[in-house]
Structure 1
Amino acid sequence: MGILLLLCFSLIISFSSGADTIYANQFLSGNQTIISKDGNFELGFFKAGNSSNYYIGIWYKKVPFNPPTVVWVANRETPISDRFSSKFKLKDGNLVLLNESNTPIWSTNMISTATPASVVLHDDGNLVLLYGSSSSTPIWQSFDHPTHTFLPGSKLGYNKRTNTSHVITSWKNKEDPAAGLFSLEIVQNTKRYALKWNRSVEYWTSGPWNGRFFSSLPDMAVPYIYNFSYIDNANESYFTYWSTNHSVISGMFLDVSGQMQQQTWKESSEQWYLFFSTPKLICDVYARCGAFSICNQQTSPFCNCLTGFEPTSQSDWNLSEFSGGCVRKTKLNCRVKEEKPEFIVSFVPVKYLPASHENEIPSLDESACRRSCLDDCSCDGYSFFLERCRLWNNENLNNISFVFVSDDSTVRKFELNIKVASKDIQHPINDIHKKNDKEWFFSSVLFFL
């Protein structure tokens, strides 16, 4: 299988004495860390990429990457700027992160303040808060509050008693572990899980559990190092997995691209290997490139703006965060309308026509359809197919992706014409007859059905 790069983050690390526990009279600060008993995981402060922000997180201790791979983040939404004056400690029976001003910015938020309390980092990557002896039942555990990683031994499911779900959420980008647009969660009462965009649009599903594997993941049935299980009882419904070889380092990561990637670390080659990824193609991730952009699996980067458009945020695109999409290079003046707009035709084969039909106007011919869009300031494009006029805006133009179709293909095709200023389109002089500098044009994209 192909080698897949994981998210890498710039961390400043000092090795601790090997302690795996924080007691009531102790705290972590600066370069201090704790390490699980057998050295599988490490917890401490880290900095993501070139960002100046710091976070408390857990990473693989035995993976010799520098920087290492983070699997859990505590304060993913509330970073700190100075790790040396911040403290990660037990306070009033809770695990708390205090920032530079000694203000709590993250806590386990348990109501009880029982003591003595301790927090232990286990060799499965689970951080647990205990009241009393080390053998007591955890009061709080990081496995119940996952971020972007689904570790072996943890649960992805739904608690029927508390009406709460375990949800895996991607990072915002490679330098910001705040919750991104993509999530993995169990679909209640269906024995399946799904990848969602913005916690609402489902763009991939595992299919139902058949007793051995999910129907959309036949690779799970292939003899390997994993065992899978789905539990459904009166209290909870959840999916879990574990490795038959405890010396193997593995995890399931929801990448910033929106793909869920099951990967295994091979110590002999010092590389991560892909077991499976879902969806298999990045361009199958819903709205991966945002509005007025096209996803092309064959290019690098795979997201590119349509003709006459540019990234909404170039800094986000530099971090492979494309979901903000693109904007016109030149803002259109809605008060200027030409009687006979021309077409700039740039045929781009794509798939994923937005599903909504609320924008259909069946009675118009193509000329009237074009004029209707041109006269409507909220219209960003139109299509005319099977005698039906459809008007589009940026809210339903955020899921265009490139597909290769042979010349003898029998698939039906139509053009999606998008408004763009003529000055931002490169074209041969004979392609159009420009009448004045205020003329608008439609950039045309070809859809395949």
Structure 2
Amino acid sequence: MDPWLKLSVLVFMWFSFNSQLSLGADTISANRSLSGNQTIVSSGGSFVLGFFKPGNSSNWYIGIWYGGKVSERTPVWVANREIPVRDTQSSELKISDGNLVLFNESKVPIWSTNISSSSSSSVVAVLEDSGNLVLRDGPNSTTPLWQSLDHPTHTWLPGGKISLNKRTNQSQLLISWKNSEDPAPGLFSLELDPKGTNQYLILWNRTTQYWTSGPWDEQARIFTLVPEMRLNYIYNFSFHSDENESYFTYSLYNPDTISRFVMDISGQIKQLSWLESSKEWNLFWSQPRQQCQVYAYCGAFGSCTEGGLPFCNCLRGFHQKSQSAWNLSDFSDGCERTTKLQCEDNRTLTNGKPDKFLTSPNVKLPQNAESVTATSISECESTCLQNCSCTAYAYDSDG
């Protein structure tokens, strides 16, 4: 073979292989899908869309993450957060029947934008430099059919909004990941108060409120219980309300700043900015301020210590219910008894010793605590011992 011809073949093969790694454009169209290592990149290079695998997980997800200056891969949006794929080469994200649809390795659709489109052949999905993935009826259309900023996962990007639909009384949620390697919806969520008080709430398990921002002060342009906002030189918040919805949105005073809000697996809402000098995310503030103020953060029979690392430990006589979950910063399963109580075990006394109580100071009563009249602390203890569903007791001077 002519050596020049051999060189040409090698160069062509190398170019063809690398062209499969990145589509080099910001658009998915009817004749251009995405699979394997392929990505699309926003026009300014700020964001990337493609398959990613969090941590040491074996699962793959379609997500958007920072590009450009941010060297640490940081997902800001996940499409199939509850249904991962295992093989990216045979999975495909493409335009199908006017929607953007993710097909898994078995060619089964597992995620879709799920909207009605009048002219499916012209629909395109464009990744904008704001991190917004927009579905449009043609590349020149200005009205989005669907956009990812209206469906946030755990990250609130500039230009996005967290809203309350006044017609349905449904709040748009910002929901934490389950753990550091699983983007499935976790236990902690941020929402605009459905009662219309113009304040944000953080909920545990979508039911139990454990933090509020306080009402919005339009004149001071801060939430009344977030005084740190007075020092905020990064974000410009604004509130909007009409007959259909109420929502907050924000922009950056300096458009060159890279910053975001995250509903973290810690149960805290965090404000983070990228520091180019140190190549890392800088925490500006978090709420609640203290980790141990997060409701049920350490799970059943877990003890939270503000000054310690890790924050969570098991009470004496208990061990982690799931060590693997704790390793991923998911403490929600809490702890379980190392030895059963007598009332849980029909056998004779363990080692011939009766059940006893361990004093645990500075602990709040649970939300569903029951009260029983007792004339003394010993009577309170005896009453609890006789009821196997009683796990702890507290006694005060009023009996």
State TM-score, norm by structure 2. 0.88
Match for 2:364: what amino acid?
Y
Aligned: 1:220 with 2:220: no
Q: Which position in structure 1 is the counterpart of 2:377?
A: 366
Secondary structure of residue in 2 paired with 1:373: helix
- Residue 204 of structure 1 deviates from its aligned partner by 0.7
Secondary structure of residue in 2 paired with 1:172: strand
In structure 2, C-alpha distance between the alignment counterparts of 1:354 and 1:48, rounded to whole Å = 35
1:304 to 295, 313, 321: 313
In structure 2, C-alpha distance between the alignment counterparts of 1:223 and 1:106, rounded to whole Å = 38
Q: Which position in structure 1 is the counterpart of 2:250?
A: 241
Note closer, same or farther for the CA distance 1:63–1:362 as it changes in structure 2 (3 Å cut).
farther
Aligned: 1:383 with 2:389: no
2:267 to 258, 263, 281: 258
Q: Which position in structure 2 is the counterpart of 1:196?
A: 203
Kept in 1, the 8 Å contact 2:342–2:354? The answer is no
Q: Which has the higher contact order (CA 8 A, sep 6+)?
A: 1
In structure 1, C-alpha distance between the alignment counterparts of 2:256 and 2:77, rounded to whole Å = 20
Relative to its length, the structure with more strand (as a share) is: 1
Percent identity between the aligned chains? 54
In structure 1, C-alpha distance between the alignment counterparts of 2:360 and 2:388, rounded to whole Å = 25
Kept in 1, the 8 Å contact 2:374–2:380? The answer is no
In structure 2, C-alpha distance between the alignment counterparts of 1:371 and 1:363, rounded to whole Å = 10
Q: Which position in structure 2 is the counterpart of 1:416?
A: none
Kept in 2, the 8 Å contact 1:77–1:177? The answer is yes
Note closer, same or farther for the CA distance 1:223–1:50 as it changes in structure 2 (3 Å cut).
closer
Match for 1:299: what amino acid?
G
- Residue 16 of structure 1 deviates from its aligned partner by 2.2
Kept in 1, the 8 Å contact 2:235–2:253? The answer is yes
Match for 1:324: what amino acid?
D
Kept in 1, the 8 Å contact 2:301–2:334? The answer is yes
- Residue 379 of structure 1 deviates from its aligned partner by 1.7
1:142 to 142, 148, 172: 148
- Residue 342 of structure 1 deviates from its aligned partner by 6.9
Note closer, same or farther for the CA distance 1:344–1:361 as it changes in structure 2 (3 Å cut).
closer
- Residue 149 of structure 1 deviates from its aligned partner by 0.3
- Residue 160 of structure 1 deviates from its aligned partner by 2.2
Kept in 1, the 8 Å contact 2:174–2:191? The answer is yes
Aligned: 1:332 with 2:341: yes
| More displaced 10-residue stretch of structure 1: 330-339 or 298-307 | 330-339
1:354 to 366, 374, 396: 366
2:80 to 75, 83, 98: 75
Note closer, same or farther for the CA distance 1:340–1:305 as it changes in structure 2 (3 Å cut).
closer
- Residue 331 of structure 1 deviates from its aligned partner by 2.0
1:10-409 paired onto structure 2 within 5 Å: 16-66=22-72, 68-112=73-117, 114-115=119-120, 116-188=122-194, 189-211=196-218, 212-334=221-343, 335=346, 341=354, 343=356, 345=358, 347-357=359-369, 359-388=370-399
Note closer, same or farther for the CA distance 1:238–1:337 as it changes in structure 2 (3 Å cut).
farther
Kept in 2, the 8 Å contact 1:291–1:326? The answer is yes
Match for 2:382: what amino acid?
R
Note closer, same or farther for the CA distance 1:223–1:260 as it changes in structure 2 (3 Å cut).
closer
- Residue 364 of structure 1 deviates from its aligned partner by 4.6
Kept in 1, the 8 Å contact 2:171–2:193? The answer is no
The alignment yields a C-alpha RMSD, in angstroms, of 2.0
Q: Which runs of 5+ in 2 are unaligned?
A: 1-19
Q: Map Cα deviations across residues 44-74 of structure 1 (whole Å, 9 max, x no partner).
A: 00011111100000000024434x0000000
In structure 1, C-alpha distance between the alignment counterparts of 2:353 and 2:316, rounded to whole Å = 21
In structure 2, C-alpha distance between the alignment counterparts of 1:312 and 1:213, rounded to whole Å = 41
Aligned residues: 372
Note closer, same or farther for the CA distance 1:368–1:83 as it changes in structure 2 (3 Å cut).
same
| More displaced 10-residue stretch of structure 1: 261-270 or 301-310 | 261-270
Q: Map Cα deviations across residues 192-223 of structure 1 (whole Å, 9 max, x no partner).
A: 01111001111110000010111011222325
In structure 1, C-alpha distance between the alignment counterparts of 2:353 and 2:45, rounded to whole Å = 71
Q: Which position in structure 2 is the counterpart of 1:10?
A: none
Secondary structure of residue in 2 paired with 1:361: coil
- Residue 235 of structure 1 deviates from its aligned partner by 1.8
In structure 1, C-alpha distance between the alignment counterparts of 2:94 and 2:241, rounded to whole Å = 36
- Residue 163 of structure 1 deviates from its aligned partner by 4.2
Match for 1:169: what amino acid?
I
Q: Map Cα deviations across residues 214-270 of structure 1 (whole Å, 9 max, x no partner).
A: 101122232512111111111210011110211111100111111111011121222
Note closer, same or farther for the CA distance 1:333–1:143 as it changes in structure 2 (3 Å cut).
same
In structure 1, C-alpha distance between the alignment counterparts of 2:188 and 2:324, rounded to whole Å = 20
| More displaced 10-residue stretch of structure 1: 362-371 or 231-240 | 362-371
State TM-score, norm by structure 1. 0.79
Q: Map Cα deviations across residues 420-446 of structure 1 (whole Å, 9 max, x no partner).
A: xxxxxxxxxxxxxxxxxxxxxxxxxxx
Kept in 2, the 8 Å contact 1:18–1:37? The answer is no
In structure 1, C-alpha distance between the alignment counterparts of 2:85 and 2:232, rounded to whole Å = 44
In structure 1, C-alpha distance between the alignment counterparts of 2:228 and 2:88, rounded to whole Å = 43
- Residue 366 of structure 1 deviates from its aligned partner by 2.6
- Residue 303 of structure 1 deviates from its aligned partner by 0.1
